[in-house]
């Protein structure tokens, strides 16, 4: 099953052009939802205004090479490894979910556009990546949802408490879960269950990509920009109008370091 392209089997009943059109529609929903959210919440205005303030407060002018180096380092370290979360379970869960999702989405597009349709060969490599991506997404997502959520672990809320901010992670988990279930039942010839899970898979994708405006989906674009701006501000001395760290010894005992953090 892991090396079988589920979209190739589906192409026997649904046109590959329809699948490709669905992916294009999801991309349009992402772009439209992100733009509408930026207009409504004025995120771009905030970033531009913050960048102007930082430029005026800068004590050092960065060259093109320095800026490129900071951006590259931020992308690889801060964004690529979610270093802001420190070392621990929460970071590992996020990394699993992030790279699983990237694999899942990229391999979906490659399989649909490159290996689905008449006279198209199967790619065991990309089919395997599609299943592995979905599995990693489920591992990271369910681990986060049931065991690591701050509002559950630290504020004694029940695990089934759902708010608008949870729309992204729940829709993403639904996509990966129903996608795997659809692939499994389709591979085993269970047509009834296969159709059910395919329907749920499509609905989950519509909720995920159509709900960008209401979910944390757009944060995937804001957070890298904010991380880059923060590191540039530290390098040029503007520091987002914050004072530099105090060069003085600690005098107040262990404080919050007395007990290791469990969830943050």
Residue found by looking up tokens 């159509």 in the block = 210
- Lowest-confidence segment of 7-11, 23-27, 50-54 by average pLDDT: 50-54
pLDDT of residue 262: 58
User: Mean pLDDT over residues 64-79, rounded?
Assistant: 80
pLDDT tens for 172-216 read 999 999 999 999 998 888 888 889 999 999 999 999 998 887 777
Residue 250 clears pLDDT 60, i.e. is over it: no
Q: What residue spans define the domains of the chain?
A: 6-236
Average pLDDT across the chain, whole number: 80
Q: Exposed, middle or buried, 220 (CB in 10 Å: 0-12/13-18/19+)? A: middle
Who contacts 41 (Cβ-Cβ below 8 Å, separation ≥6)?
A: none
pLDDT tens for 18-28 read 999 999 999 99
Determine the CATH number of domain 6-236: 1.20.950
Residue 242 clears pLDDT 60, i.e. is over it: yes
Query: pTM for the full model?
Result: 0.78
pLDDT of residue 257: 63
The residue with greater pLDDT, 253 or 51, is 51
Tokens of 94: 């996020």
CA atoms within 13 A on the CB side of 143: 18
């Amino acid at each position: 099953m892991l090396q079988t392209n589920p979209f190739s089997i589906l192409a026997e009943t649904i046109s590959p052009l329809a699948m490709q059109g669905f992916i294009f529609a999801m991309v349009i929903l992402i772009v439209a939802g992100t733009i509408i959210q930026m207009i409504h919440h004025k995120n771009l205005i905030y970033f531009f205004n913050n960048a102007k303030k930082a430029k005026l407060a800068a004590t050092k002018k960065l060259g093109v090479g320095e800026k490129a180096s900071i951006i590259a380092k931020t992308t690889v370290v801060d964004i690529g490894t979610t270093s802001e979360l420190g070392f621990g379970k929460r970071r590992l869960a996020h990394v699993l979910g992030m790279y699983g999702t990237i694999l899942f989405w990229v391999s979906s597009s490659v399989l649909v556009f490159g290996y689905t349709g008449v006279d198209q060969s199967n790619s065991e490599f990309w089919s395997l990546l599609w299943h592995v991506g979905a599995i990693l997404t489920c591992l990271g997502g369910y681990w986060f949802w049931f065991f690591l959520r701050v509002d559950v672990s630290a504020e004694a809320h029940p695990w089934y408490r759902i708010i608008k901010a949870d729309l992204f992670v729940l829709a993403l988990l639904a996509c990966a879960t129903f996608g795997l279930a659809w692939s499994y039942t389709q591979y085993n010839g269970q047509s009834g269950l296969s159709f059910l899970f395919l329907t749920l898979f499509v609905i989950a994708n519509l909720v995920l990509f159509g709900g960008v405006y209401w979910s944390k989906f757009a944060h995937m674009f804001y957070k890298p920009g904010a991380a880059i701006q923060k590191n540039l501000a530290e390098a040029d001395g503007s520091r987002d109008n914050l004072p530099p760290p105090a060069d003085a010894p600690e005098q107040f005992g262990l404080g919050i370091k007395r007990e290791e953090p469990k969830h943050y």
